[in-house]
Amino acid sequence: MKGKILIVDDNKSVLTALEMLLQTEFEDVATLKTPDTMISVIGQNDIDLVLLDMNFRAGINSGNEGLFWMRQILDFDPGISIVMITAHGDVELAVSAVKKGAFDFILKPWDNNKLISTLHAGLKLRKSKLETKKLRETTVILKQQLMPPSYSLIGKSEPMQRVMEMIKKVSGTDANILITGENGTGKELIAREIHRHSNRKKEMLVSVDMGAISESLFESELFGHVKGSFTDASGDRTGKFELADKGTLFLDEIGNLNPGLQAKMLAALQNRTIVRLGSNTEIPIDIRLISATNKNLEEMIARGEFRQDLLYRINTISIELPPLRERGNDILLLAGFYLKKYSSKYDKAGLKISSLAGRKLLKYNWPGNVRELQHSVEKAVILADDEILGENSFSLNENFHARGENFKNQTLEEMEKELILQSIRKEKGNMSAVSKNLGISRQTLYNKLKRYEV
């Protein structure tokens, strides 16, 4: 573990003696009679440890010079280890230096073994700090790599401009945010955009699909568990709240929580602590909470299906996403974006959407919103035989061509139920294909089937 040491002392005999003593103990031993060029020497030679005298000018023994240069070193490199050299009468000054950032001090005349032991301990601390710093940097890189790629929000329509303006206002705060909107409008994308512009952007955004978590696994998934807490708990597990510590926790489909689970969620958010299943130890959490739902939580509160106090807790700021059918020419902007993306992915450069096909896309009601548009463009690219994608390239659901025409007397849930039934008929009961077409997990699909009693 040999490192590099710099000795700074105005006594030439002290420098010579220390250099001879330490040359076999360190990879490199540098010496200076004055501290004037000390910072540049440290920077140029990657010094790990500095042995620094407390006084340099004859007749002045206040130790202030040593303290001044110690601060200069630590300002330049906070992780470097500094050992002060002082006379017996300056012990109080040396202790003060340790309190202000020095690793330790030695007294003149020194004991060789004690000096070497002190310097080795200082070098060990330096190496530990460097490893910790490297680990932190690696952790940041890994967190960034684990995050899916972020795309800038696409949209020039007035409703989307309002959304973007709201994102700018709230991103820099730690306010809890509730994102509402129909399925497929891009609620998770909004959450990621908020996180990307927040003060927590170097930490994780942990996304949880509340509709995909069964009641029996809720506490384990969200709060974690300890070994032996239940039959299959073969080891400790970190929950989503802990994973998101110092970062952002995104709870999608929070309207699917039953009242019992809502109470547990509320307790965790109020106390800012969680307890792993099978443990009694409270673990503090520091998260920024973003929630999303396609349900009307106010109506659920009126029906006794959602806790009003939980809504207050998650809804400091509300952002409502407009459905795609209300975004006008954003439809074509998004189609162009996905066309470019999938043309590159499937190696079909030069594809364009014809004006007739564009009009068809604009007239369509898009019950599945942006997610449906994305899948439609991807399918069109995969099946494309020509460079121009015409009307027939987009196999849209004919029942929804006239914008709003078929939904005048239907609620959002009725529309969603009908869309699921149509997809089931189309895929002849293949639930994997249905969930893929709808852009949801199989567990979420089964939860919706159960809710709609299908």
Domain ranges, ordered by start, for the chain:
4-141, 158-320, 328-451
| Residue-wise pLDDT tens digits, 240-271 | 999 899 999 999 999 988 888 899 999 999 99
Average pLDDT over residues 179-189: 92
| Residue-wise pLDDT tens digits, 45-98 | 889 999 998 877 655 556 678 888 899 999 999 999 999 988 765 777 778 888
Backbone angles phi, psi at 57, to 5 degrees: -100, 135
pLDDT for 398: 57
163, 37 contact by CB (below 8 A): no
- Integer Cα distance of 190 and 293 in angstroms: 13
pLDDT for 250: 95
For domain 4-141, give the CATH superfamily: Response regulator (3.40.50.2300)
pLDDT for 442: 76
* Residue 272 confidence (pLDDT) above 70: yes
How would residue 403 be classed by pLDDT, with cut points 50, 70 and 90? Answer: very low
Q: Of all residues in the chain, what percent carry a pLDDT higher than 90?
A: 52
Q: Residue 51 carries which side chain, given as an amino acid letter? A: L
Q: Residue 384 carries which side chain, given as an amino acid letter? A: A
Fold of 328-451: Helicase, Ruva Protein; domain 3 (1.10.8)
- Integer Cα distance of 192 and 338 in angstroms: 19
Q: How many Cα atoms sit within 13 Å of 49 on the Cβ side?
A: 29
* Residue 304 confidence (pLDDT) above 60: yes
**pTM for the complete prediction?**
0.61
For residue 21, give the nearest of 105, 114, 85 by alpha carbon: 114
**Whole-number Cα distances in Å, 303 to 179, 180, 194, 297, 300:** 21, 19, 32, 10, 5
- Distance between first and last Cα of the chain: 68
- Integer Cα distance of 342 and 349 in angstroms: 9
- Integer Cα distance of 111 and 123 in angstroms: 18
* Residue 309 confidence (pLDDT) above 60: yes
Average pLDDT, whole number, for the chain? 86
* Residue 339 confidence (pLDDT) above 70: yes
- Tokens 């700021």 sit at which residue? 317
For residue 437, give the nearest of 448, 422, 451, 418 by alpha carbon: 422
Q: Of all residues in the chain, what percent carry a pLDDT higher than 70?
A: 91
* Residue 232 confidence (pLDDT) above 70: yes
Higher per-residue pLDDT: 420 or 289: 289
444, 436 contact by CB (below 8 A): no
pLDDT for 168: 94
Count of all residues that appear for the chain in the document: 454
Average pLDDT over residues 29-42: 91
pLDDT for 141: 56
* Residue 145 confidence (pLDDT) above 60: no
Fold of 158-320: Rossmann fold (3.40.50)
Contacts 24+ apart (CB under 8 A), 117-124: 118/83, 119/5, 119/22, 119/25, 119/26, 119/49, 119/51, 119/83, 120/1, 120/25, 122/49, 122/81, 122/82, 122/83, 123/1, 123/3, 123/5, 123/26, 123/48, 123/49, 123/81, 124/1
How would residue 130 be classed by pLDDT, with cut points 50, 70 and 90? Answer: confident
Average pLDDT over residues 318-346: 94
Extract the tokens encoding 307: 């806790």
How would residue 445 be classed by pLDDT, with cut points 50, 70 and 90? Answer: confident
pLDDT for 404: 45
76, 39 contact by CB (below 8 A): yes
How would residue 142 be classed by pLDDT, with cut points 50, 70 and 90? Answer: low
* Residue 444 confidence (pLDDT) above 70: yes
Average pLDDT over residues 390-416: 65
Pick the range with the lowest mean pLDDT from 41-45, 259-263, 346-350, 436-440: 436-440
pLDDT for 92: 78
Residue 35, preceding bond cis, omega within 30 degrees? no
Q: How far is CA 279 from the centre of its chain?
A: 27
pLDDT for 139: 67
Higher per-residue pLDDT: 152 or 13: 13
pLDDT for 402: 43
Average pLDDT over residues 225-246: 85
374, 190 contact by CB (below 8 A): no
| Residue-wise pLDDT tens digits, 349-397 | 999 999 999 999 999 999 999 999 999 999 999 999 889 999 899 988 7
pLDDT for 199: 93
- Tokens 């990621």 sit at which residue? 192
For residue 208, give the nearest of 265, 145, 140, 266 by alpha carbon: 265
Average pLDDT over residues 113-134: 89
pLDDT for 377: 95
pLDDT for 427: 75
Backbone angles phi, psi at 431, to 5 degrees: -65, -30
Higher per-residue pLDDT: 154 or 410: 154
Q: Do 328-451 and 4-141 have the same topology in CATH?
A: no
Burial class (CB in 10 A: 0-12, 13-18, 19+), 296: middle
Burial class (CB in 10 A: 0-12, 13-18, 19+), 279: middle
- Please state, as a whole number, how many other Cβ atoms lie within 10 Å of the Cβ of residue 59: 5
- Please state, as a whole number, how many other Cβ atoms lie within 10 Å of the Cβ of residue 117: 11
* Residue 191 confidence (pLDDT) above 90: yes
